[in-house]
């Protein structure tokens, strides 16, 4: 029903823009951080646990699996398809339990293989969270390594390239939004490269933990079933076989501290990118960058001349959305009442939302950089309209002369403040001022040839620190 009781002719529509308008930009995440991706990972864990039990004969069953049977079992998750999603959904409609549906799904596969004798090894001694925590760990790891990090690295390399191309391009910096001292565009971009590289190294070092110890983390059922097995050691070996780090001490749930750590690190990346987006937006607004027209694109619906910096605005908003989700996850997941509640279950289903909005922002920033051209003429004009920014250089040179006993000028800072504060001065004004100073000839010569576009310190060299 629609407005005023009108029956809508629309089919069911995506509620999230990530699944609608922006699907083409973030859809790869759905391979991992969707319900289907989670179920595939659950099947992965259950199958590998079954294989682990059989191959190590932990229950002294004497059962074995042929190479053909091993391949067939692993194909259950390797070839997981839309038809499997449908089959799982039909089972869950009866079980009303998503993990139990996975168990029965695998049992059906075993029956079809003629290995129904292994049915009781499926989900052996497992609580649902044993399966879920490992499944989430796998999906998050894969989404991170296969989608999010590669996209971020593409952006980082594009930014690194631009910083090196403009390492020597003079630019007037601004502090508090006001003309400060000259720098180079490349050095300012290199700052962001350096910041992002630090956070990437932190994310690369993130341990991804998993538990596999039963209903409340005590291995109680395991020991009753097979008291002679070293279950903590088997649990450790199994978790590590999945490429994860074993957590030996948990309640029913893995404590999710590693997830909180990861989302905080991703959030830090988001905040750096947000800073970058707003800085580039500002540079565009003051004409340091020209926006390259995209054929057929429209800026304003009424002002045909406009090219709006929409890539950077879109990125800004999506980074804020991602931060809202990731910050919430980091805060929520580390708390669970006593040995277990379901707050994590509901929260974790939004992991893909946090990843998705961040990925969308990264994609927009990457494309946005491709649509920019450095406006060197505007950069130079801005510098030449602000000769007063050389006040710092002049007062510092005078101070050095005073310290060397080559000048007796009192309070050089105040002297330059009187000349420049809140004023626009010309190169001739500065030359006249410098020529009238009681300073050494060598210092005077250095100051008389100084220009805003040459007062760059080591900016170009600093930019090249991130060259590699």
- Between CA 391 and CA 416 the distance in angstroms is 6
**By 3-state DSSP, what share of the chain in percent is helix, strand and coil, each rounded to 5?**
65, 5, 30
Distance between start and end Cα atoms, the chain: 60
User: Is-catalytic flag, 300?
Assistant: yes
**Is 383 in contact with 173 (CB distance < 8 Å)?**
no
- Between CA 465 and CA 199 the distance in angstroms is 17
Q: Which one is catalytic: 61, 241, 300, 396?
A: 300
Q: Is 177 exposed, middle or buried (0-12, 13-18, 19+ CB in 10 A)?
A: exposed
Find how far residue 315's CA is from the centre of its chain. Answer: 12
Residue 171 host element (H or E): strand 170-175
**Is 158 in contact with 366 (CB distance < 8 Å)?**
yes
Q: Tokens standing for 395?
A: 């007062």
**Is 84 in contact with 36 (CB distance < 8 Å)?**
no
- Between CA 381 and CA 378 the distance in angstroms is 5
Q: Which one is catalytic: 176, 201, 301, 305?
A: 176
Catalytic center residues: 176, 300
């Amino acid at each position: 029903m629609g407005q005023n009781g009108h029956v809508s002719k629309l089919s069911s529509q995506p509620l999230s823009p990530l699944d609608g308008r922006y699907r083409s930009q973030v859809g790869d995440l759905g391979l991992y951080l969707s319900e289907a991706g989670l179920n595939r990972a659950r099947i992965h864990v259950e199958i590998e646990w079954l294989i682990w039990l059989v191959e190590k004969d932990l229950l002294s069953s004497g059962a074995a699996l042929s190479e053909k049977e091993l391949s067939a079992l692993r194909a259950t998750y390797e070839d997981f398809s839309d038809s499997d999603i449908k089959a799982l959904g039909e089972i869950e409609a009866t079980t009303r339990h998503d993990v139990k549906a996975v168990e029965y799904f695998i049992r059906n596969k075993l029956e079809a293989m003629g290995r129904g004798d292994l049915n009781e090894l499926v989900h052996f001694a497992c609580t649902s969270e044993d399966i879920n925590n490992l499944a989430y760990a796998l999906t998050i790891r894969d989404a991170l390594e296969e989608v999010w990090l590669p996209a971020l690295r593409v952006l980082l390399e594009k930014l690194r390239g631009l910083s090196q191309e403009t390492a020597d391009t003079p630019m007037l910096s601004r502090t508090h939004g006001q003309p400060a001292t000259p720098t180079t565009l490349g050095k300012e971009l290199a700052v962001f490269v350096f910041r992002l590289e630090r956070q990437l190294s932190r994310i690369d070092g993130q341990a991804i933990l998993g538990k596999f110890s039963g209903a409340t983390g005590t291995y109680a059922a395991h020991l009753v079933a097979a008291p002679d097995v070293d279950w903590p050691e088997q649990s450790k070996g199994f978790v590590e076989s999945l490429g994860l780090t074993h957590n030996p001490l948990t309640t029913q749930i893995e404590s999710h501290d590693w997830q909180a750590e990861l989302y905080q690190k991703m959030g830090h990346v988001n905040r750096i990118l947000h800073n970058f987006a707003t800085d580039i937006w500002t540079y565009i607004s003051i004409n340091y960058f020209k926006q390259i027209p995209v054929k057929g694109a429209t800026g304003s619906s009424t002002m045909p001349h406009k090219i709006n910096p929409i890539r950077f605005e879109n990125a800004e908003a999506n980074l804020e959305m991602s931060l809202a989700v990731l910050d919430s996850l980091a805060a929520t997941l580390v708390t669970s009442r006593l040995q277990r509640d379901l707050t994590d279950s509901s929260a974790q289903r939004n992991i893909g939302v946090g990843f998705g909005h961040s990925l969308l922002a990264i994609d927009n920033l990457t494309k946005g950089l491709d649509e920019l051209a450095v406006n060197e003429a505007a950069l130079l004009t801005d510098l030449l309209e602000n000769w007063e920014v050389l006040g710092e250089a002049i007062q510092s040179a005078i101070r050095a002369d005073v310290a060397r006993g080559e000048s007796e000028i009192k309070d050089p800072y105040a002297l330059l403040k009187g000349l420049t504060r809140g004023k626009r001065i010309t190169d001739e004004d500065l030359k006249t001022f410098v020529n009238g100073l009681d300073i050494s000839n060598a210092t005077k010569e250095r100051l008389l040839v100084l220009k805003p576009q040459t007062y760059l310190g080591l900016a170009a060299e600093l930019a090249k620190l991130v060259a590699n």
